[in-house]
Chains A and B, each alone.
Chain A
Amino acid sequence: MTATALLSALTAKVRHTAHRTPQACVCAPEGVLADRDDATVVRHGDTVAKAHAPGTDPGELAARLKVAAALDGILLPPLDERPLPLHGRLVTLWQAGTPVDRDDPDAAPWEAAATLLAHLHATPPAALPHHLPDMRGPAKAARAMRRMRDAGAHPAAAPVERAWATLPAWARAEAPAPLPGLLCHGDLHLGQLVRTPDGRWLLIDVDDLGLGDPAWDLARPAAWYACGLLPADEWTRFLTAYRTARGPALPPAPADPWPALDIPARALTAQTAALAVAKSVRENRPLDEIEQAVVDACDRMAALPPELAPTPTK
């Protein structure tokens, strides 16, 4: 099974689904939205087909699709709750949406992202239509560390390893996450939001959805802010919107959010740095300014054990 054969089969599938009949159409040619080791995504007309990572557990994916179908207004629902086998991969079908504009930081939907997460986290796990496995955030962070180690030697690997070593076992996917687990997205970033034709923002990508520490979903923006990559006002907008929507991952304002965020934000910083180091080894180039900022944060956190930040005096 070659990547090209999968892409052809996926393209035929999405075209057929978009039109319900195999006749010729006047749509623009198919667009390949992503073609990575862990996912191939093709769009045709108003329909998107995703081939999930090789080795994806069919039962777990089906459970995640059922939950997405049930959480109307939070997660983009699948067109069909059953994943389809295609050339050795599992394929799901979705309505196409408009992604966040990468070239316009001012238009980033921080409030919508935070509000969707607050509603996701507040969904009682007992109310879900299907039991879910663990949220896969820690497993993804551990996988990023393995990628860095497999890529080969790099001077920046040492501070990333030291930062990783400050984390408790659960954050390194070496022990179960603390209970109670709440419903989490598991891989939140700005590529995980789309706007529907009626103008609503929804979360996409159910692959890492599961039960765990909801602070994990806030930790990527938290890490970007801590690394100096996200301005304070945008971080504050995100944080304020999450609290306004009564998201359960954080204590209400004005309590310090960092005791809850510290460990997941450290893990996401190490994960981001590990992937950046692996990429720079693979491409035989130095770290760029942004990647270096994340490695520098790892270097600083390695000197500071994770501990609860002091609470405000008031």
Chain B
Amino acid sequence: MQCPKCHAPMHTYNRNGVQIEQCSGCRGIFLDYGELEALSRVESQWGAQQGPPPPPAPQAYPAAPAPAWGAPQHGGPHGHHGGHHGGHYGHNKRHKSFGHMLFSS
């Protein structure tokens, strides 16, 4: 399926037995009906079994779609937040960087 926000292809990942669609472009996440509840249920069962402190969640998401040295809005050590898709672009900045930088050697 395609991401409803940025139209990049979405890929299916399995997180704790729950199927999640994540966008390969903006990293936004799509949950089917009931999946959020299923995730919460798994989380509470995990907590009840293990007791505190909970271990860190396993790395089940794909690699960030930008390098770790990328600008903070992309993820990497400077800010991991899936679902963001370039909304920081002011109209002027986009025009300026387009004409200024994208045409020169």
Is the C-beta of B12 less than 8 angstroms from some C-beta in chain A? yes
Q: Encode contact with B along A233-270: 1 for CB under 8 Å, 0 otherwise.
A: 10110001000000000000110101001100110000
Contact A313 B13 (CB under 8 A): yes
**Known: A105-B94, A253-B24. Contact between A224 and B62, CB under 8 A?**
no
Contact check, B70 vs A256: say whether CB atoms are below 8 A apart.
no
Q: Tell me the complex Cα distance, A314–B59, Å.
A: 11
Number of interface residues of A (CB under 8 A): 50
Residue in B9, B64, B67, B102 with the greatest tally of chain A CB atoms within 10 Å: B67
Whether B89 contacts A231 by the Cβ 8 Å rule is yes
Kindly list chain B residues whose C-beta atoms are within 8 Å of the C-beta of A262: 67
Residues of A contacting B80 with CB < 8 Å?
Answer: none
Is residue A25 contacting chain B, with contact meaning CB distance below 8 A? no
Interface centre among A229, A304, A309 (most CB of B within 10 A): A229
- Asked whether A254 and B94 contact (CB < 8 A) given A189-B105, A232-B26, the answer is no
Q: Identify the stretch in A59-67, A74-82, A85-93, A293-301 within 8 Å (CB) of chain B at 4 or more residues.
A: A293-301
The answer on a CB contact under 8 Å between B67 and A258 is yes
**Interface segment, B36-44, B49-57, B71-79?**
B71-79
Residues of B within 8 A of A303 (CB): 69
Q: Nearest Cβ distance between residue B64 and chain A, in whole angstroms?
A: 8
| Chain A residues closer than 8 Å to B65, beta-carbon distance | 232, 256, 258
Q: Mark B69-105, 1 if CB is under 8 A from A, else 0.
A: 1111110101000000110110001111111111111
Determine whether A57 belongs to the interface, using a CB cutoff of 8 Å to chain B: no
Contact A236–B103 (Cβ < 8 Å): no
Given contacts A105-B94, A108-B98, A226-B74, contact A233 B69 (CB under 8 A): no
* Chain B residue at smallest Cβ distance from A187: B105
Q: How far is the CA of A236 from the CA of B66 in the complex (A)?
A: 11
Tell me whether B94 and A231 are in contact (CB under 8 A).
yes
A266 to B71, CA, bound (A): 13
Chain B proximity of A187: nearest CB distance (Å): 6
Chain A residues, Cβ within 8 Å of B60 = 313
Q: Which residues from chain B contact A231 at a C-beta distance below 8 Å?
A: 85-86, 89, 94
Bound CA span A225–B26, Å: 12
Contact between B105 and A232, CB atoms less than 8 A apart: no
- Determine if B9 and A224 form an interchain contact, defined as CB atoms under 8 angstroms apart: no
Contacts of A235 in B (CB 8 A): 25
Give 20 CB contacts A-B under 8 Å: A108-B102, A187-B105, A189-B104, A224-B97, A226-B71, A228-B70, A229-B101, A231-B85, A231-B86, A235-B25, A254-B24, A289-B96, A290-B97, A290-B101, A304-B67, A304-B68, A309-B64, A309-B68, A314-B11, A314-B13
Measuring CB to CB, which residues of chain B are less than 8 angstroms from any residue of chain A? 6-9, 11-14, 24-26, 59-74, 76, 78, 85-86, 88-89, 93-105
Chain A residues engaging chain B, CB cutoff 8 angstroms: 100, 102-103, 105, 108, 140, 187, 189-191, 224-233, 235-236, 240, 253-254, 256, 258, 261-262, 265-266, 272, 275, 288-290, 293-294, 296-297, 300-301, 303-304, 309-314
Given A266-B67, A289-B96; 5 other pairs, CB 8 A cutoff: A189-B105, A227-B70, A232-B86, A294-B101, A301-B67
4 A-B pairs closest in CB distance: A228-B71, A301-B69, A236-B25, A312-B62
